[in-house]
């Protein structure tokens, strides 16, 4: 779809590409690089260089970006704690005929970053919102992951509470799509372990770390091995992460479950009605002495 049409209206008579200029009374949602500054688009440079106001998640980060491209604008802060207050100010600026560019620290604004509330407010006030596409961490990770899934569900950052995190992941576990999750370094190992517990160890995990940066790493492994993979090297928990959990393997690919002792079977049947298969299997294996992988296979058979 993206390659079907190529706009040529921005070319001048001699074939040289014309520069874009931010138009009055318009909000531009501008994607910026994830890390490698060479990923900045020419159109993004044009808009940031001509906008009257640059609204930024962290003005210090954006100031470095602007200086690199020779842009002298002084950014205005717009982050999760003041976005509601900034909406009225930016709408007033648009009403006065000024142009505004919105950026986040990296990637595309309003995608698991501040900006959605501003976009809603600007649209409600009747002003145009123009996307300036570019880098996006989720899409970059998916493109290099080689997933089996044909559909993707972006969960963004999971809730900090273990209970809320479990409820969210459990609610989407059975969907026939890959799960796309953003994670911070101090939580990534715990999140990977929780995903294995909730979804089972058979699903494939792709860890995309520090995308476009010097220490970029893209690793694919079963969820069951995620905890040991992070523990093997301390540096593996450093940086910014996209975690991709591929679609569940087809039921027919699973080996037949071995029979359990009658008591273990009764306990497992009761528990899988209330818990994810991996968690139910862990409890039953602990109290019955049955091999955990055998109990887990049986749990999957009882509750796919």
pLDDT tens per residue across span 64-118: 999 999 999 999 999 999 998 999 999 999 999 999 999 999 999 999 889 999 9
Measured over the CA atoms of residue 176, residue 180, residue 183 and residue 185, the dihedral's sign is positive
In DSSP notation, 55-111 reads: EESSHHHHHHHHHHTT----PEE--TTTHHHHHHHHHHHHHTT--EEEE-SSB-TTS
pLDDT averaged over every residue in the chain: 89
Q: What is the CATH number of the domain that holds 76?
A: 3.40.1010.10
Residue labelled with tokens 């009605």: 273
- Residue 279: φ, ψ to 5°: -70, -40
HSE toward the beta carbon, residue 180, CA cutoff 13 A: 20
Would 1 be classed as within a structural domain? no
Please tell me the pTM assigned to this model: 0.78
Q: Residue 78 falls within a domain, yes or no?
A: yes
239, part of any domain: yes
Is there a single domain that holds both residue 131 and residue 146?
no
Domain match, 239 and 143 both? yes
pLDDT at 4: 44
Q: Is residue 297 part of a domain?
A: yes
State the total domains in the chain. Answer: 3
Cβ(32)–Cβ(44) under 8 Å?
yes
Tokens of 209: 């770390």
Rounded to 5 degrees, φ, ψ at 133 are -70, 160
At which of 135, 150, 177 does a domain end? 135
Report which DSSP code applies to 38. Answer: G
For residue 17, tell me if it sits in a domain. Answer: no
**What pLDDT, in 10s, does the model give residues 148-193?**
999 999 999 999 898 999 999 999 998 999 999 999 999 999 999 9
What span, in angstroms and rounded, lies between the C-alpha atoms of 228 and 218? 16
Q: What pLDDT band is residue 304 in, cutting at 50, 70 and 90?
A: low
Residue 57 near residue 79, CB atoms below 8 Å = yes
Q: Do 233 and 256 have their domain in common?
A: no
Same domain for 98 and 80: yes
Picking from 135, 165, 195, the residue at the C-terminal end of a domain is: 135
Asked if the structure places residue 20 within a domain, the reply is no
Structural domain boundaries enclosing 86: 27-135
Q: What is the CA radius of gyration of the chain?
A: 24
């Amino acid at each position: 779809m993206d390659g079907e049409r190529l706009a040529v209206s921005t070319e001048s008579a001699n074939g040289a590409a014309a520069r874009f200029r931010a138009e009055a009374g318009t909000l531009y949602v501008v994607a910026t690089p994830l890390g490698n500054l060479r990923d900045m688009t020419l159109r993004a440079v044009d808009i940031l260089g001509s906008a009257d106001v640059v609204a930024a998640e962290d003005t210090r980060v954006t100031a470095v970006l602007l200086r690199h491209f020779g842009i002298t604008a002084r950014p205005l802060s717009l982050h999760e704690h003041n976005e509601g207050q900034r909406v009225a100010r930016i709408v007033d600026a648009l009403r006065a005929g000024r142009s505004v560019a919105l950026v986040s620290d990296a990637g595309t604004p309003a995608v698991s970053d501040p900006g959605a509330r501003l976009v809603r407010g600007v649209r409600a006030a009747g002003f145009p919102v123009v996307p300036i596409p570019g880098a996006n961490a989720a899409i970059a990770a998916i493109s290099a992951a080689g997933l089996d899934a044909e559909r993707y569900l972006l969960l963004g950052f999971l809730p900090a509470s273990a209970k809320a995190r479990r409820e969210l992941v459990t609610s989407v576990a059975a969907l026939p799509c890959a799960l796309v999750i953003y994670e911070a370094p101090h939580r990534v190992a715990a999140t990977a372990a929780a995903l294995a517990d909730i979804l089972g160890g058979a699903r494939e995990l792709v860890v995309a770390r520090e995308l476009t940066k010097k220490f970029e790493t893209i690793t694919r492994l079963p969820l069951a091995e995620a905890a040991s993979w992070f523990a093997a090297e301390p540096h593996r928990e450093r940086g910014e992460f996209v975690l991709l959990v591929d679609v569940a393997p087809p039921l027919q690919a699973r080996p037949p479950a071995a029979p359990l002792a009658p008591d273990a079977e009764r306990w497992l049947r009761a528990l899988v009605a209330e818990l994810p298969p991996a968690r139910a299997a862990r409890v039953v294996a602990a109290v019955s002495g049955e091999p955990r992988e055998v109990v887990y296979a049986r749990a999957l058979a009882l509750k796919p």
